[in-house]
Structure 1
């Protein structure tokens, strides 16, 4: 059996609607790692928001990896070493802050186990902090406080407004930064040419693997790049329609152990996963 790499988004993919990994899904993931395959968590979340999940799946034991910030950082979970990262040029912190204030949208970045903001709170910012299990830290002035390396900024707004913000930012800085929505209400801003596929390609080459043996699973807009990149691109049944249209295979939903069916079908070739 050829060594394969299973790449998993978290929210809406690996975890169910309760933000939990079911015992059946966990068992299947542990089994494939015991059989020598590699598991990679690829998420828009900050690294701090992935720790519990990576530990639950025993990535440290079996040598898995975490791609956080939509791929701006790769961490080897066995050694806790950052093996690759890209950061936003410092000048954009003030530019993005001014844009957020002018357009009345939320703006956050990340520091240790905090979501850092200098703008008003909204329910989407609160949601980001909650799903990552970290607190919101208000700072002022934001551009002066954020004098550390930043892998990603996130703007938050109502979906219609977020689409408008995404388009505006791409018109202004699309040739300089990577800007796209991960959820209808989240606009991700990262260093140029950063997305899950670009960073996954770095990891695949680093490990000397064949990208045809990668299986990438996701449900959101920010999963599109890796689903198109993968040897087998998988969309969850609950995925955005454009994601399902771009996938090689649509599995069951995140509430119906869709990842288990992927593992059975494409790694262990078990007939029951039809």
Structure 2
């Protein structure tokens, strides 16, 4: 049996609309891992807002990887170690904050198991807390919290302002940061050259598994690189049109156990 590396996105993919991993999906994933295949979560979420999901999925397992911030931070849950990390340096972060403020775009960051913001009226704090399971902290100046750099900073504004300024940000920080449109009101800024496909390659090398033996699942445009790079790239039925065009297969939706159904048919029973 050829050992596979199976990489899954979180929101809209592994998680259903109730922000949960279904019992059926868990059952099938455990069966796949018990056969010796490797699993990794690769998400746009920050480490602090995704580690609780990874711990739930990989509880009792002998392997399990969480790649967060679109691949900027890669953590092995079994060895409890960061195996790859990529940061935007502090000077770039501070400059980006100044530029964002000048064009009327707010920002937030993750630090020390908290989401940090400067303006409480910009965000739905209760929704952020409920989804991410971590504290939201209001601070005076986020520049004081960047340290020696961060894996990711999130820019936030109404969708029209995000659309109108995305190219400006991309051009100004060309080959310095990689701005990713994660949601209509957000731009996730991560280090240049980093994406989910790059992270999948790093995880494959870590496990000694080639890209021809990878299966990836996603639903959004920030999943395109890992869908294209994988030996078998699978879009959820609820995925974006762009992603579906690039995928090898389209599985059932995240609310209909799409990952479980595909793995049962193409990995367990093949």
Q: Report the TM range for the smaller structure's normalisation.
A: over 0.9
Separation (CA, whole Å) in 1 of partners of 2:232 and 2:183: 23
Separation (CA, whole Å) in 2 of partners of 1:244 and 1:41: 20
Contact map agreement 1:101 1:119 (CA 8 A) in 2:
no
2:228 aligned counterpart, secondary structure: helix
Structure 2 partner of 1:108: 108
Report the count of equivalent residues: 270
Separation (CA, whole Å) in 1 of partners of 2:128 and 2:42: 16
Structure 2 partner of 1:226: 226
Contact map agreement 1:6 1:214 (CA 8 A) in 2:
yes
Structure 1 partner of 2:238: 238
Cα offset, 1:99, TM superposition: 2.2
1:136 aligned counterpart, secondary structure: strand
Structure 1 partner of 2:257: 257
Separation (CA, whole Å) in 2 of partners of 1:172 and 1:44: 22
Contact map agreement 1:183 1:221 (CA 8 A) in 2:
no
Structure 2 partner of 1:47: 47
2:13 aligned counterpart, secondary structure: helix
Separation (CA, whole Å) in 2 of partners of 1:172 and 1:125: 30
1:84 partnered with 2:57: no
Per-residue CA deviation, residues 111-130 of structure 1 (Å, 9 max, x unaligned), is 12111122454346764443
* Shift in alpha-carbon separation, 1:255–1:219, aligned structure 2, 3 A: same
TM-score scaled by length of structure 2: 0.94
Separation (CA, whole Å) in 2 of partners of 1:149 and 1:67: 18
Of structures 1 and 2, the one with the larger relative CO (CA 8 A, separation 6+) is 2
1:165 partnered with 2:171: no
* Shift in alpha-carbon separation, 1:96–1:125, aligned structure 2, 3 A: farther
* Shift in alpha-carbon separation, 1:60–1:84, aligned structure 2, 3 A: farther
Report the aligned-residue RMSD: 1.7
Structure 2 partner of 1:180: 180
* Shift in alpha-carbon separation, 1:217–1:125, aligned structure 2, 3 A: farther
* Shift in alpha-carbon separation, 1:101–1:170, aligned structure 2, 3 A: same
